[in-house]
Amino acid sequence: MDPDLLSSFDTRRVGILTGGGDCPGLNAVIRAVTRTVRSGYGATVVGIEDGFEGLVESRVRELDVRDMTGMIREGGTMLGTSSKGDPWHYPIEGTDGSTEIVDMSARVLESIERLALDAMVAVGGDGTMHIAHKLQARGVNVVGVPKTIDNDLAATDRTFGFDTAVSVVAESIDRLATTASAHHRVMVIEVMGRYAGWIALHGGLAGGANVILIPEIPFRWDAVFRAVRDRATRGKRFSIVCVAEGAKLPDGSEVIQQTDVKRTDAKRLGGIGEVVARQIEQGTGLETRVTVLGHLQRGGSPTAFDRVLATSFGVAAGHCVCRGQYGVMVALRGTEIVPVPIEDAIARTSLVPPDHQLVGAARAVGTSFGDDG
């Protein structure tokens, strides 16, 4: 870039962190931001380790373009991440094993000042964007990048990591279908997504699941049993049931694996697959097994789609942060990457509308949502 043009930008030191759960494509974003900021604007990039914990505990390192070789294809995050580093809800463990939740936001602001960071790029999902919005309100220059396999940030049409997670679900259903067919069983597959059913919907549809259970569409046991039994009476001696971890039971309750006070959202969902499998076996007499995909959906190399999207997000974030366009999150709208106010990103959670076109497509090919719809 022309040196005269470089001098017109005030951003000289940019911090970048990855917060919340890991997902494929994080390293592609770090790579794109680093290369855009350093090569395009001559600014320094400071990598903050383990999300906001790195700011609380002053764990950072400078990133160079040479560090980015091959990172586009790497899963995980070279900086590390944490779901328990909210500066306003920070867990401190005592010597007696107890946990105290304290406000460490002042220390974060001190770290940003001490590191002389002109601006920050925060890569994460809903929780990270909420923290970024709070920091922006305290005078920190922030640009957000939407990351979550759950695809539940309303301000963007798609988050990176989602496509990879869906691909894992679809491939897993393909594999489960062969053993389900061989043993004439019902196979229940539990997938992630928290309060949104996007992974279960897309993955279940792609894998040809016979029943898909998601949080947004209440289901009844009799309708699930009927869908499985009807296949059996038609000579289809196996069924695949794809259930989202956040799907509510017919009585409206959630299945919670555990409660973790160190997290801002203390509920850790999980276990509904076992409940569904047990109910199906008892209600139909058909042998039923369950597979919980868990963190397999987060791991491994990103798909080509996620590599491209993550790179596009990273480049756009690099331009925003160096040109002084703060308080925004880069978002996919149609085919374009555009900046949107961070408050728009956290205004609501993107959930599956019960009348969504993909729900209609699934119903049209015979998929049950356990509601006789």
C-alpha closest to that of 157 among 302, 338, 15, 332: 332
Indicate the residue type of 105.
S
Beta 328-333 vs 336-341: how paired, if at all? antiparallel
Catalytic residue among 50, 150, 152, 163: 150
| Contact (CB, 8 A) for 208 and 368 | no
| Contact (CB, 8 A) for 129 and 345 | yes
| Contact (CB, 8 A) for 15 and 60 | yes
C-alpha closest to that of 16 among 118, 157, 126: 118
Segments in the chain forming alpha helices (H): 3-6, 26-41, 53-56, 105-114, 126-137, 162-183, 198-207, 221-233, 272-284, 304-322, 342-345, 357-364
Q: Is 163 a catalytic residue?
A: no
* Residue owning tokens 């729900």: 359
C-alpha closest to that of 60 among 1, 115, 134, 118: 115
How far CA 130 is from CA of 102, 122, 136, 174, 340, in Å, comes to: 17, 10, 10, 37, 14
Going across the sheet that includes 44-48, the strands are: 60-63, 44-48, 13-18, 119-124, 142-146, 328-333, 336-341
Catalytic residues: 150
